[in-house]
């Protein structure tokens, strides 16, 4: 028997196995506590709870490490494409040239949407948020594409490529329809990222011309967001998937979880914060002062992370992309100047250092999207497209887990004890008296 931890509760004692991961992560298996001791554990936010065993993504928050299937995210951002990284996450290995061509061909083949789906878009209220629309449309895919082949492997492969391709099309379509423009479909001669920019920005009077700097920036943006271990939206996909729902519904739930400002909406919140500072003269000092005031609810968006206790490794990469993109386009963005001032403060002010409030990936990613011409309300959608391969990989791993079970957390009840039902007439008399 391997190493164990001993838990003593009252006059009972139990030996709990210690699980050690490939990177020497240590966990105590508490799965039998309730059955053998009659206790459960309480861990608000699940900050100390491992919900699963996974071979997909490794993070070390203390050292600032992020790897997909063992490969450092820095290497993928430098050398890979988003499609290749998606294949890696979903299938576990980097593809051969033949495998990558076949995967890319499937993505092109499944990029079209059923024409009837456009009717849905045109009937959403005018001010509907793109994330609400995307979640609804992804869930609707199951109605339009119910037949997924004979074998389980075929069903999964076709569903995966449909999602990766059609979500990109649906995002661009929602943008076009919101502007009253003609919908554009993908071109077989363009890559995944280039096709997205084509579908977003081609107009009858200005055809899309591929810009290598833009395509590289979008590839890196999506690679950096492709997976991030058991975050809020990924955990949601796994939880919903544990009920054996179809992949479309699980991803739809993940999109809803990603929507919040503390998760996928953070880069939008950063841009809005930088715009506010810019409108107030660009001086960051009063905003930093407010952020350090414990009695002021104001907070600087894009600083700190739930896991990383040092500089977010993705933030270093996306900052470099941002600098290169603005240099290549010869644009001067005053928001970038403000962002750099805030970063200088965060890296030198003892308050930020003591609380590990370093810039995270959201701090600069919004500036990259802004430089690409993506409207601010589309930022969370861009995050969702990038996170899609990770969600798919996590859902697939959960379905194939031999220890798979319906995820059903416990609770500690703090409500009233048993009490008598009071008829409404008696309630009225009690109130009257």
**Distance between CA atoms of residues 240 and 418, nearest Å:** 32
User: 276: which 2 tokens?
Assistant: 């506010």
- DSSP annotation of 94: P
Per DSSP, the three-state class of 67 is strand
Q: In angstroms, what CA-CA distances link 20 with 3, 14, 24, 48, 398? A: 10, 19, 6, 15, 20
Q: In angstroms, what CA-CA distances link 27 with 32, 77, 93, 235, 308? A: 14, 31, 26, 18, 19
Instruction: Pick the closest to residue 33 from 407, 410, 414, 415 (CA basis).
Output: 410
Helix or strand holding residue 258 (H, E): helix 247-258
**Of residues 198, 225, 312, 362, which has the active-site annotation?**
362
Residue with tokens 């996170």: 387
**SS3 letters for 392-416?**
HHHHHHHHHCCCCCCCCCCCCCCCC
**Distance between CA atoms of residues 89 and 169, nearest Å:** 21
**Of residues 228, 263, 305, 312, which has the active-site annotation?**
305
DSSP 285-324: HHHHHHHH-TT-----TTB--SS-SS--HHHHHHHHHHHH
Contact 265, 380 (CB under 8 A): yes
Q: Is 305 a catalytic residue?
A: yes
Residue with tokens 């810039």: 359
Task: Describe the strand order of the beta sheet including 71-72 as a list of residue ranges.
Answer: 57-60, 65-68, 71-72
**Distance between CA atoms of residues 389 and 55, nearest Å:** 14
Per DSSP, the three-state class of 151 is coil
Instruction: Pick the closest to residue 308 from 56, 43, 60 (CA basis).
Output: 60
User: 287: which 2 tokens?
Assistant: 């905003």
Chain length of the chain: 433
User: 293: which 2 tokens?
Assistant: 């005031």
Query: How far from chain centre, in Å, is Cα 397?
Result: 17
Residues serving a catalytic function are: 305, 362
């Amino acid at each position: 028997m391997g190493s164990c931890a001993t838990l003593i509760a009252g006059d009972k004692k139990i030996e709990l196995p210690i699980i050690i991961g490939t990177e020497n992560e240590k966990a105590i298996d508490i799965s039998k506590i309730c059955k053998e001791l009659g206790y459960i554990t309480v861990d608000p936010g699940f900050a100390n709870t491992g919900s699963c065993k996974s071979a997909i993504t490794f993070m070390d928050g203390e050292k600032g490490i992020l790897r997909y299937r063992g490969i450092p995210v820095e290497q993928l951002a430098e050398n890979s494409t988003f499609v290749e990284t998606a294949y890696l996450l979903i299938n576990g290995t980097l593809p051969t040239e033949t495998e990558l061509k076949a995967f890319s061909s499937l993505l092109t083949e499944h990029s079209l949407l059923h024409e009837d789906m456009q009717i849905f878009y045109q009937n959403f209220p005018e001010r509907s948020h793109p994330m609400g629309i995307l979640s609804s449309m992804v869930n609707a895919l199951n109605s339009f594409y119910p037949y997924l082949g004979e074998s389980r492997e075929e069903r999964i492969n076709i569903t995966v490529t449909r999602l990766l391709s059609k979500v990109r099309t649906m995002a661009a379509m929602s943008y076009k329809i919101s502007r009253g423009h003609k919908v554009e479909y993908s071109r077989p001669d363009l890559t995944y990222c280039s096709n997205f920019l084509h579908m977003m920005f081609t107009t009858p009077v200005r055809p899309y011309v591929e810009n290598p700097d833009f395509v590289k920036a979008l590839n890196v943006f999506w690679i950096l967001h492709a997976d991030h271990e058991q975050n809020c939206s990924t955990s949601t996909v796994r939880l919903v998937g544990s009920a054996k729902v179809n992949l479309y519904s699980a991803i739809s739930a993940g999109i809803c979880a990603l929507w919040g400002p503390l998760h996928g909406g953070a880069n939008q919140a950063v841009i809005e914060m930088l715009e506010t500072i810019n409108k107030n003269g660009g001086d960051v000092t009063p905003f930093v002062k407010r952020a350090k005031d414990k009695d002021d609810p104001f907070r600087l968006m894009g600083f700190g992370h739930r896991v990383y206790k040092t500089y977010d490794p993705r933030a270093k990469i996306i900052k470099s992309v941002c600098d290169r993109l603005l240099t290549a386009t010869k644009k001067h963005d005053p928001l970038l100047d403000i962002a750099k001032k805030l970063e200088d403060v965060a890296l030198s002010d003892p308050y930020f250092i003591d609380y590990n409030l370093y810039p995270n990936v959201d701090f600069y990613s919004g500036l990259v999207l802004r430089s690409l011409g993506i409207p601010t309300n589309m930022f969370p959608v861009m995050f969702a497209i990038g996170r899609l391969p990770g969600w798919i990989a996590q859902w697939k791993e959960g379905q194939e887990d031999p220890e798979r079970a319906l995820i059903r957390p416990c609770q500690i009840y703090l409500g009233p004890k048993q009490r008598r039902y009071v008829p409404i007439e008696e309630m009225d008399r009690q109130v009257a008296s």
